[in-house]
């Protein structure tokens, strides 16, 4: 057991978050933490880390438990580079490596007792450095950064110049390198493109420790989690299985809870009716019987009615219908500081299209949106908006709300249409789960999910007929996602959206635009259709290549055979080289082990000259092993390119 929680109480002022919470987290558990925004998911992680302290109860942790926490907001010095962030994880190993080199120089000049002492420390450090995988950390850093989508030229960038998404990915990479026993991740999938998402899924599947993850990505939770913790009603309930299994069991639990509640209420009402009749008889005997039944009724442990999700239904109804041709883009190109972002960008959008844009982070998807709105200019190309097109924009950074931070929710909606009454605005806000006095909350106090819901409310008021949405499902809970998906599915206007939420893309899109530096690939259908098209295209390319190989001329065949033979000879040579290096590495490792056994002999330091000689040989073996390992990695990389 890693953590045990007993009778925990925690509140913010009069708002109670957890009451009499009892829970255990065990080794090798893969946990998804779900619940509506504001129920206490992030608070729970902060209680585990000690950032927050419970008012009552106890959190017991395994002795020496290592724990790392990814918060929603990064706290890293602005001048720190990516390289410094990652290597700082291995500072003890780096210090050890420096000490080993320093000892090597000192040993070459030392004599007598001093030499013996230095040799002992040197041997112990070498053994510890190897046991802690000291030779592997540079390749681990490269693997993590590549997996999270960082280019090699970004490793020396200061943290301050990174985008919000890059900062989140950098912090995530640093935490993954730490490999703690308990990994706590708060929305790690935000700002990850689909390739990085798939990489992270695979990484977590193979993670040997325990993790607790807050995420609104239903696909992601299905892939990596084997249990779900649901935060609700001041407590946490455990469900075995992934998110889909949890959702099914949760639905069954609610149905059963409602059934039991209805049965109990039926019996309570029956008893009340009997008591009422006894009182109407107004005899001594009937009064006693009524009192007896009332006493029994008061002792009943009343069940709670099952929590019903507020199924708010809203829709984006365009005030004016646009023309058939909504947007025409031809030959768009954009660079920043002489660095090409994209070029040859051409596409057209028709009324009623619902287009999902996918592609790697940094490809320029958000920049395209800013160009389409006229916020920045393209280097070249043509953009034409259709007749009566009215754009509504959802910004993932919530920049549209910054000028309203001191104002409340009602004022943020009045900014869109001052003719609407308070009653109408309240009904709109209620559709987005803002009720009662919540409409007077200052916008600066809203959570990320609440800001997202407010932006959606502003879009609805605007009655735009062409919606451009940049990551609309980031920061919103599962319930709000489903409401948004239902609304956009029935939207009568045109929709262009950027998203990494594969479930959302599947439900909404009728076209997929794959964003590349050299243009846009158009795929009809949703994300599943895109994957199928991609698989079929790869299969066709393979068949076409085979057909082309069959119909080549004899001269071409002869030339090809020669090239193939040369390639095969080269591959065989590389494979032979890899095998020779592997054999040499094995010999070096055996030699190192032989020397280490000799150095462990109690009489080893009796002959200091011999000990110094053996130590130098040991150092040479280690250096040679590093050189061989580098050669082996380069040979393997070259072999993989062939």
pLDDT one-digit tens code per residue, 102-140: 888 888 777 778 888 888 888 888 888 888 888 788 888
pTM tops 0.85, yes or no: no
Angle at 202 between CA 199 and CA 207, to 5 degrees: 120
Residue closest to 449 by CA, chosen among 50, 41, 165, 46: 41
C-alpha 88/C-alpha 97 separation (Å) is 14
CB under 8 Å to 49, separation ≥6 — which residues? Answer: 67, 69, 184
Query: Exposed, middle or buried by CB within 10 Å (0-12, 13-18, 19+), for 568?
Result: exposed
Strands (E) across 255-401 are located at 325-336, 339-350, 354-358, 380-385, 391-394
- Asked: is 43-90+134-241 a CATH 1.20.210.10 domain? The reply is no
CATH architecture of 325-537: 3-Layer(aba) Sandwich (3.40)
One fold for 43-90+134-241 and 325-537: yes
Tell me the pairing of strands 67-70 and 3-12.
unpaired
DSSP 641: H
Answer positive or negative: Cα dihedral of 515, 518, 522, 528: negative
| Res 559: pLDDT | 60
Confirm if 472 and 495 have CB atoms less than 8 A apart.
Answer: no
Q: Which residues on neighbouring strands pair with residue 516, listed in sequence order?
A: 519
What residue segments make up the domains of the chain, in order of their start? 43-90+134-241, 259-298, 325-537, 555-641
| Res 362: pLDDT | 78
User: Which alpha helices (H) appear in 73-136, and where do they start and end?
Assistant: 82-88, 91-109, 112-131
Class of domain 555-641: mainly alpha
Distances from the Cα of 392 to the Cαs of 177, 369, 483, in angstroms?
41, 11, 19
| Res 534: pLDDT | 83
| Res 607: pLDDT | 75
| Res 640: pLDDT | 62
Q: Which residues on neighbouring strands pair with residue 59, listed in sequence order?
A: 5
Q: In what order do the strands lie in the sheet with 227-232?
A: 67-70, 182-186, 210-214, 30-34, 227-232, 235-240
Residue closest to 329 by CA, chosen among 360, 357, 296, 303: 357
User: Residue 612 has which token pair?
Assistant: 């110094």
User: Residue 304 has which token pair?
Assistant: 């709670």
- Within 10 angstroms of residue 488's Cβ, the number of other Cβ atoms is 22
| Res 550: pLDDT | 56
As separate numbers, helices (DSSP H) first and strands (DSSP E) second, the chain gives 19, 18
- Within 10 angstroms of residue 90's Cβ, the number of other Cβ atoms is 21
- pLDDT, one tens digit per residue, over 390-399 is 998 988 776 7
For the chain, list residues with pLDDT below 70: 72-78, 306-316, 398, 545-568, 604-605, 608, 639-642
| Res 307: pLDDT | 62
Residue closest to 500 by CA, chosen among 72, 197, 73: 197
Tell me the pairing of strands 210-214 and 391-394.
unpaired
């Amino acid at each position: 057991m890693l953590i045990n929680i007993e009778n925990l109480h925690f509140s913010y002022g009069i708002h109670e978050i957890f009451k009499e919470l009892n829970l255990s987290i065990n080794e090798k558990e893969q946990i998804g933490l779900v619940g509506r925004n504001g129920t206490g998911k992030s608070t729970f992680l902060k209680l585990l880390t000690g950032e927050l302290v419970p008012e009552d109860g106890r959190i017991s942790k395994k002795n020496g438990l290592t724990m790392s926490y990814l918060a929603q907001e990064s706290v890293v010095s602005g001048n720190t580079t990516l390289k410094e962030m990652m290597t700082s994880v291995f500072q003890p190993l780096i210090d050890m490596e420096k000490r080993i080199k320093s000892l090597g120089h000192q040993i070459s000049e030392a004599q007598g007792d001093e030499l013996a002492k230095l040799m002992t420390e040197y041997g112990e450090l070498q053994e510890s450095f190897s046991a802690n995988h000291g030779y592997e950390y540079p390749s681990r850093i490269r693997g993590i950064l590549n997996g999270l989508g960082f280019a090699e030229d970004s490793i020396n960038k200061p943290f301050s110049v990174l985008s919000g998404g890059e900062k989140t990915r950098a912090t995530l990479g640093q935490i993954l390198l730490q490999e703690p026993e308990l990994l706590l991740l708060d929305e790690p999938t935000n700002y990850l493109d689909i390739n990085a998402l798939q990489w992270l899924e695979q990484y977590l599947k193979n993670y040997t420790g325990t993790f607790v993850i807050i995420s609104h990505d239903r696909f992601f939770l299905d892939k990596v989690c084997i249990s779900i913790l649901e935060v609700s009603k001041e407590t946490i309930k455990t469900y075995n299985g992934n998110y889909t299994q949890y959702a099914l069991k949760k639905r069954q639990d609610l149905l059963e809870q409602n059934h039991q509640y209805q049965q109990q209420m039926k019996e309570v009402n029956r008893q009340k009716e009997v008591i009422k009749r006894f009182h109407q008889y107004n005899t001594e005997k009937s009064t006693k019987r009524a009192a007896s039944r009332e006493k029994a009724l008061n002792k009943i442990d009343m069940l709670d009615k099952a929590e019903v999700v507020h199924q708010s239904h809203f829709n984006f109804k365009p005030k004016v219908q646009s023309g058939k041709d909504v947007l025409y883009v031809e030959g768009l190109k954009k660079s920043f500081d002489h660095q090409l972002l994209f070029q040859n960008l051409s596409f057209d959008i028709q009324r009623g299209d619902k287009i999902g844009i996918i592609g790697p982070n940094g490809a320029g998807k958000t920049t395209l949106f800013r160009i389409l709105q006229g916020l920045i200019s393209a280097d070249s190309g043509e953009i034409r908006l259709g007749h009566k097109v009215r754009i509504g924009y959802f910004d993932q950074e919530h920049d549209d709300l910054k000028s309203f931070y001191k104002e409340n929710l009602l004022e943020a909606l009045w900014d869109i249409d001052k003719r609407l009454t308070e009653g109408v605005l309240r009904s709109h806000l209620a559709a987005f789960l803002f009720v009662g006095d919540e409409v007077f909350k200052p916008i600066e106090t809203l959570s990320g999910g609440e800001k997202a819901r407010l932006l959606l409310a502003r879009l609805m008021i605007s009655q735009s007929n062409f919606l451009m949405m940049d990551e609309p499902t980031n920061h919103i809970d599962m319930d709000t996602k489903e409401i948004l998906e239902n609304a956009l599915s029935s939207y009568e206007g045109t929709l262009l959206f950027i998203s990494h939420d594969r479930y959302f893309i599947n439900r909404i899109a009728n076209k997929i635009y794959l964003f590349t530096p050299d243009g846009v690939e158009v795929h009809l259908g949703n994300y599943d259709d895109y994957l199928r098209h991609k698989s079929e295209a790869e299969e066709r390319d393979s068949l076409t290549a085979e057909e082309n190989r069959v119909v080549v001329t004899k001269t071409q065949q002869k030339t090809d055979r020669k090239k193939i033979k040369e390639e095969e000879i080269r591959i065989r040579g590389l494979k032979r080289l890899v095998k020779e290096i592997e054999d040499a590495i094995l010999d070096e490792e055996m030699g190192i082990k032989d020397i280490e056994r000799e150095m462990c002999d109690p009489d080893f330091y009796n002959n200091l000259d011999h000990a110094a000689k053996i130590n130098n040989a040991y150092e040479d073996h280690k250096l040679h092993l590093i050189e061989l390992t580098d050669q082996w990695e380069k040979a393997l990389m070259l072999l993989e390119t062939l």
